[in-house]
Structure 1
Amino acid sequence: MLSISPLIVALVVASTPLQGAQAWTTFSVPHAPGADDVPALMAALQGNSSYTSDASIVFAPNTTYNVWSPLTFPILTNVEVRIEGNLSYPQNITLVQEGVASSNYSGAWIAFAGGNNVTLSGTEDPEWGWMDGYGQQWWDDMQQTNRPQGWKFGNITDGVITNLKVYKPPAWNFLTSGSTNVHIYNNTIIARSDNASSFPFNTYVSLQSYRQFTSYRLSSSPKTLYYSDGWNAGGTNLLFEHNYVVNGDDCLTVGSGAKNVTWRNSYCEGGHGLSIGSLGKGGSVAMVQDILFENTIMNTTLYGARYKSWTGGNGAAINVTWRNIMFMDVMFPIYVTQNYWDQGVGGKPNSSSTNETHIENFLFENFVGTIQNTPGYKEGSCISDPCWYYVANATGNEVIILDLYPDTALNVVAKNLYAQTLTGAPVAAMCNSSTTSNDVGFECWDGTYIPDAIGM
Structure 2
Amino acid sequence: MGAYFGVSTIFVFCLLGFSANAELFTIGAPSGSDITQALLKAFTSACQSPTASRVVIPKGEFKLGEIELRGPCKAPIEITMKGTVKADGNTNHGKEKWVVFGNINGFKLNGGGVFDGEGNAAWRVNNCHKTFECKKLPISIRFDFLVNAEVRDISSIDAKNFHMNVLGAKNMTMDNIKITAPEDSPNTDGIHLGRSDGVKILNSVISTGDDCISVGDGMKNLHVEKVVCGPGHGISVGSLGRYGHEQDVTGIKVINCTLQETDNGLRIKTWPSAACSTTASDIHFEDIILKNVNNPILIDQEYCPWNQCNKKKASTIKLANISFKKIRGTSGNKDAVKLLCSRGYPCQSVEIGDINIKYSGADGPATFQCSNVSPKLLGTQSPKACSAPVTKA
| TM-score computed with the length of structure 2 as normaliser | 0.84
Q: State the SS of the aligned residue for 1:370.
A: strand
Q: State the SS of the aligned residue for 2:248.
A: strand
Distance (whole Å) between structure 1 residues aligned to residue 67 and residue 53 of structure 2: 22
Q: State the SS of the aligned residue for 2:160.
A: coil
Amino acid at match of 2:354: N
**Pairing 1:19–2:18 present:** yes
Task: Note the C-alpha offset of 1:448.
Answer: 5.6
Q: State the SS of the aligned residue for 1:344.
A: helix
Aligned match of 1:176: 166
Task: Note the C-alpha offset of 1:113.
Answer: 2.1
Q: State the SS of the aligned residue for 1:41.
A: helix
Distance (whole Å) between structure 2 residues aligned to residue 143 and residue 427 of structure 1: 34
Task: Note the C-alpha offset of 1:66.
Answer: 1.2
Whether the aligned pair in 1 keeps the contact of 2:107 and 2:146 (CA below 8 Å) is: yes
- Which of these residues, 122, 125, 129, is aligned with residue 138 of structure 1? 122
C-alpha change, 1:90 and 1:355, in structure 2 (3 Å) is closer
Give a deviation string over 1:310-357, Cα, whole Å, max 9, x none.
Answer: 22441111111011111111110011022322x214574443xx7711
**Pairing 1:111–2:88 present:** no
Distance (whole Å) between structure 2 residues aligned to residue 166 and residue 52 of structure 1: 31
Whether the aligned pair in 2 keeps the contact of 1:28 and 1:60 (CA below 8 Å) is: yes
Q: State the SS of the aligned residue for 1:272.
A: coil
Task: Note the C-alpha offset of 1:28.
Answer: 0.6
Q: Where do 1:9-408 residues align within 5 Å?
A: 18-20=17-19, 23-31=21-29, 35-46=33-44, 49-51=47-49, 54-61=52-59, 63-76=60-73, 77-91=75-89, 93-94=90-91, 96-97=92-93, 101=95, 107-123=96-112, 129-140=113-124, 145-192=135-182, 202=184, 227-234=187-194, 235-282=196-243, 284-311=245-272, 312=274, 313-341=276-304, 343-346=305-308, 348-351=310-313, 356-373=316-333, 397-406=334-343, 407-408=345-346
Give a deviation string over 1:295-316, Cα, whole Å, max 9, x none.
Answer: 1110010111100112244111
Task: Note the C-alpha offset of 1:440.
Answer: 4.9
Please identify runs of 4+ aligned residues in structure 1 that moved more than 6 A. none
Whether the aligned pair in 2 keeps the contact of 1:264 and 1:295 (CA below 8 Å) is: yes
Task: Note the C-alpha offset of 1:158.
Answer: 0.5
C-alpha change, 1:318 and 1:160, in structure 2 (3 Å) is same
Structure 1 unaligned spans of 5+: 1-14, 102-106, 124-128, 193-200, 203-224, 374-396
Highest relative contact order (Cα 8 Å, sep 6+), 1 or 2?
Answer: 1
Distance (whole Å) between structure 2 residues aligned to residue 148 and residue 289 of structure 1: 28
Distance (whole Å) between structure 1 residues aligned to residue 244 and residue 99 of structure 2: 32
Aligned match of 2:360: 422
Give a deviation string over 1:5-26, Cα, whole Å, max 9, x none.
Answer: xxxxxxxxxx985322x63110
Whether the aligned pair in 2 keeps the contact of 1:122 and 1:164 (CA below 8 Å) is: yes
Amino acid at match of 2:252: I
C-alpha change, 1:166 and 1:438, in structure 2 (3 Å) is closer
Distance (whole Å) between structure 2 residues aligned to residue 180 and residue 401 of structure 1: 33
Identity of paired residues, percent?
A: 20
Aligned match of 2:10: none
- In terms of fraction of residues, the more helix-rich structure is 1
Aligned length: 366
- In terms of fraction of residues, the more strand-rich structure is 2
Amino acid at match of 1:181: N
Task: Note the C-alpha offset of 1:40.
Answer: 2.7
C-alpha change, 1:44 and 1:347, in structure 2 (3 Å) is closer
Distance (whole Å) between structure 2 residues aligned to residue 401 and residue 159 of structure 1: 37
Whether the aligned pair in 2 keeps the contact of 1:367 and 1:417 (CA below 8 Å) is: yes
RMSD: 2.8
Distance (whole Å) between structure 2 residues aligned to residue 241 and residue 16 of structure 1: 21
| TM-score computed with the length of structure 1 as normaliser | 0.73
C-alpha change, 1:308 and 1:88, in structure 2 (3 Å) is same
Whether the aligned pair in 1 keeps the contact of 2:65 and 2:98 (CA below 8 Å) is: no
Distance (whole Å) between structure 2 residues aligned to residue 154 and residue 16 of structure 1: 26
C-alpha change, 1:355 and 1:329, in structure 2 (3 Å) is closer
Q: State the SS of the aligned residue for 2:62.
A: strand
Whether the aligned pair in 2 keeps the contact of 1:331 and 1:371 (CA below 8 Å) is: yes
C-alpha change, 1:191 and 1:324, in structure 2 (3 Å) is same
Distance (whole Å) between structure 1 residues aligned to residue 46 and residue 175 of structure 2: 31
Q: State the SS of the aligned residue for 1:117.
A: strand
